[in-house]
Chain A
Amino acid sequence: MDSIIPQLLTGLAGASSLFLVASGLTIIFGVTRIVNFSHGSLMMLGAYIGWSILTRLPREPEWFVLGIIATVLATAVIGVLLEVVVLRRVYRAPELFQLLATFGVVLILQDVTLWIWGPVELPLSRPRWLRTAFDVAGSRLPMADLILIIVGPVVLGLLWLVMNRTRWGTLVRAATLDREMVAALGVDQRLLFTSVFALGAGLAGFGGALSLMSASANLHIDLAVITDAFVVVVVGGLGSLTGAFAASLLIGILQAFGIVLIPKSTLVLVFLVMAVVLVFRPNGLMGRPQADAREALVAAPVVRPAPRELRLLSLATLLLAIVAPFFVGDYYLTVLTDACVAVIFATSLHFMMGPGGMASFGHAAWFGIGAYAAGLLMQWIGAPMPIGLLAAPIAAGIVAALFGWFVVRLSGVYLSMLTLAFAQIVWAICFQWVELTGGDNGMLGLVRPEWARDERVFYWVALALTVAVALLLRRALYAPYGYALRAVRDSATRARAIGLNVGWLRMAAIVIAGAACGLSGALFSYGKGSIFPTYITISHSVEALLMVLLGGLQTIAGPIIGALVYTGLADILMRSTDLWRLVLGAVIVLLVVAFPEGIAGAARRLWLRGREA
């Protein structure tokens, strides 16, 4: 086959750029145990800063190298700032809140970048020396690829030297193995963490600057890169540098060949690899089992029935919600309908994530499956809305059951990453299978029956379903099943010892959460009249996480409050300022720093102050 060599070379170049980002991410995780969502943003900044520097320099190779070095230093400084200003304050917070905080940083940096550099893509006009190509085994190897192919192993080698030949590196390795031990040795942890962040950020900036050789600086780099980097880090094993390198090679080459062999399925392929690796090696290729230390650190508070005051408040809110259509205009009516959808979306995630202890990063998958199930049924057999609303949770529940078989064995970050991977697969299918789903153009013309065509009536339908779902889920959580689910989360060892079936209990939670979420997807689609693959994006999944974490994991009212606050906040922000991401991100970061237990959790703590022994 002619195309083996060029594809291999392209794959190697791709692997190197993956490794530059993933290595920083994995080192930072190893030492600080923070899954840094904003790592992709650092690479994006690297690209933009690199563009600003390189376009101002002479075009000779030596100036290019200098410009790259300056970029690396600049992003390292930004990394230090980030660590000192934000992350240092959340090291003690639960894993998910750290993640939320770093996602807040993603939002902030998106707007900052947009504000500084504007919305237009910025390509680097490449100097002549960079446009040359070499002849390798009869095929053309561009200079940019050659540089990348060399840079990857060189960086790995340098990192290896630093890790194995310097005192600092020894500390980093020790901290990766056992954080408590390093603390006990009397090492200045702050300095260690800050310097690790500087290194990781510098590597990301390096990757960003080098990406200018073949692509332009744009505002989509952050999320696109972070997904790939997550996959690489997870496949390689969290915290393992050599694992990250091996995984980069695997995925880089797979992507390069995938494009040629089955052009439409690269995304699916990559995430499929991740799923397969995790099923057979739950800690990645070279990772070691994660200690459950954090679990013991934060004992969840006791769940008590809501106080009477809260019930009265809920009732008042519900009454208000019922009569609202008589007072608000069309615009707010759609916001209210969206809020209903958001409440189901968030409560269903909370079900598996709070009591179930399984944090899903791909909750939007069920949302999308529910939506497309309703849409396809209408297309194929003209199924009316009630059938669609019934079929959506069933379809999502069935797929959740199949998927659950893979994930119930995993825990912690790996579980989160597999859910993310699965959502990306679903997204890729919906996006790429144009004949079935209409692809990017979406599926239009999802009509409501005559009786529900009025926005007010549809709102009431949505409200009724929302209340029903929320009450049913709540009921289940107070019933033996819900307690058993919580028991499994609190102590799987004890749960097994009293005869609970850990796997099936978690599986049921995934199915219930998936089904409920599927309903919200269908509801949303009937509200808008159309279905798009964007329903399944990472951002949408993260929205669900935001709602749940904003409201707080430990109370049943939490996700509801979170969904309402988030919907309201997003609406107000989007209409009042262009910099809404910046404000939202800042709010998230502040909330995480100030109330690591969420809004409802904080309210509960204040309420209970002095009332609980």
Chain B
Amino acid sequence: MSVLVVQGLSKSFGGVQAVGDVSFAVAPGEMLALIGPNGAGKSTCFNMVGGQMPPDAGSVVLDGKPITGLGPRAISRHGVGRTFQITATFGSMTVRENVQMALLSHRGKIWQFWRPVAGRYADEADALLAQVGLEAQADRATGVLAYGDLKRLELAIALGNAPRLLLMDEPTAGMAPAERVGLMQLTRKLATERGVAVLFTEHDMDVVFDVSDRILVLNRGTLIAEGDGASIRTNPAVREIYLGTGATSGGH
């Protein structure tokens, strides 16, 4: 059974359709890439699945439960972790504390006024940080991290609620090419080992073809192709868009 089933998702901004009638499904352990040129509607799709924006039409079903139109908080409680295109972390905390917050929230320990945060779930947080290669930076201020490291931190935070579904909006933006492959292969490993479904978007096509199981191509809000790396590579419509815009890597 699929972890995530999306049907007929649509969204317009002031009469301009950003996403129109998009449907897809992600299976446990599967890495599904959602690609498309700038402004194709990828982030809008992520935001509708993650609850940051309510869809105009369509349905989102997670593990058989409808979550359409729920807020981000409820959706996170249903086991969805996500990273943002523009990183969102807690700047006044250390790297470790960022992850501790995710763990505390996941375990319902937020409404406590007495016992200090220091040391709580610290080992678990460090383990998550080690997974994304940030263990050496655990005590540093989040504000001083390099952009690539912030992206890693976001992944560690997203893993904090032991998600069934990971939404990753341009998870490797701002990283060197070698790092990108490394991080996505790590994600691949997590997906396979824990059966986490991963929906991600990425401008680096090498990374996309390297780690994804399946690829969806979005253009101007509609899906124009779906398939494995080989079939997408040779798809004339896709070639048209990409050769037309010349963007094969690093949109940002």
Contacts and interface: CB of A to CB of B under 8 A. Distances in A.
Contacts of B51: 496
Contacts of A548: none
A476 interface: yes
Interface in A542-598: 554
Contact of A484 (B82, B110, B157): B110
Interface string A481-503: 11110110111011111111110
Interface in A281-336: 299-303, 305
A498 B81 CA distance: 7
A484 B107 CA distance: 13
B117 A499 contact: no
Interface string B25-49: 0000000000000000000000000
A301 B106 contact: no
A478 interface: yes
A301 B117 CA distance: 17
Contacts of B120: 480
Interface string B80-112: 011010001111111001001110111001111
Contact of B117 (A483, A497, A502): A483
Contact of A494 (B94, B118, B157, B161): B157
B160 interface: yes
B77 interface: yes
A491 B101 CA distance: 12
Interface in B29-77: 50-52, 71-73, 76-77
Contacts of B88: 491, 493-494, 497
Contacts of B94: 302
Nearest to A476: B113
B102 A498 contact: yes
Contacts of A505: 110
Interface residues of B, number: 45
Contacts of B72: 493, 496-497
Given A299-B92, A494-B88, A479 B116 contact: yes
B115 interface: yes
A188 interface: no
B239 interface: no
Interface in A434-483: 475-476, 478-483
B199 to A, nearest CB: 15
A486 B120 CA distance: 17
A599 to B, nearest CB: 19
A301 to B, nearest CB: 7
A184 interface: no
Given A302-B141, A487-B93, A491-B89, A480 B76 contact: no
A490 B91 contact: yes
A612 interface: yes
A137 interface: no
B141 A479 contact: no
B143 interface: yes
B144 A613 contact: yes
B87 to A, nearest CB: 9
A484 B141 contact: no
B50 A497 contact: yes
A478 B117 CA distance: 6
Interface string A234-257: 000000000000000000000000
B161 A499 contact: yes
Q: Interface SS of chain A: helix, strand, loop or mixed?
A: helix
A190 B97 CA distance: 41
B142 interface: yes
B102 A479 contact: no
Given A490-B93, A494-B89, A500 B84 contact: no
B140 interface: yes
Contact of A302 (B76, B115, B143, B160): B143
Contacts of A487: 90, 93, 101
A491 B52 contact: no
Contacts of B13: none
Contact of A480 (B93, B110, B161): B110
Contacts of B116: 475, 478-479
B141 A498 contact: no
Contacts of A475: 113-114, 116
B12 to A, nearest CB: 19
B76 A490 contact: no
Given A475-B113, A479-B113, A305 B89 contact: no
Contacts of B97: 483
B214 to A, nearest CB: 25
B77 A499 contact: yes
A496 B102 CA distance: 10
Nearest to B143: A299
B76 A497 contact: yes
A580 to B, nearest CB: 36
A338 to B, nearest CB: 29
Nearest to B142: A302
A409 B72 CA distance: 16
Contacts of A501: 73
B114 A479 contact: yes
Contact of B71 (A483, A490, A496, A498): A496
Given A479-B113, A499-B105, A490 B118 contact: no
Contacts of A612: 141
B194 to A, nearest CB: 18
Nearest to A473: B113
A484 B142 CA distance: 16
Nearest to B93: A302
A301 B73 contact: no
Given A305-B118, A497-B76, A613-B140, A480 B104 contact: yes
Given A478-B117, A493-B84, A499 B76 contact: yes
Contacts of B117: 478-480, 482-483
Given A490-B90, A613-B144, A484 B115 contact: no
A482 B141 CA distance: 18
Nearest to A486: B92
B52 A494 contact: no
Contact of A498 (B52, B144, B160): B160
A91 B73 CA distance: 36
B80 to A, nearest CB: 9
A503 to B, nearest CB: 10
B114 A496 contact: no
Interface of A: 299-303, 305, 475-476, 478-484, 486-487, 489-491, 493-502, 505, 554, 612-613
Given A300-B91, A496-B73, 17 more contacts: A299-B91, A303-B92, A476-B114, A478-B118, A479-B115, A480-B109, A481-B113, A482-B117, A486-B92, A490-B91, A494-B157, A496-B76, A498-B101, A499-B73, A499-B76, A500-B73, A612-B141
27 contacts: A299-B91, A299-B92, A300-B91, A302-B92, A302-B141, A475-B113, A475-B114, A479-B116, A479-B117, A482-B113, A482-B117, A484-B104, A486-B93, A490-B92, A493-B84, A493-B88, A494-B89, A496-B51, A497-B52, A497-B82, A498-B76, A498-B157, A499-B73, A499-B105, A500-B101, A500-B110, A502-B73
9 shortest A-B CB distances, which residue pairs? A494-B88, A300-B92, A299-B91, A496-B72, A499-B76, A299-B143, A302-B141, A490-B90, A478-B116
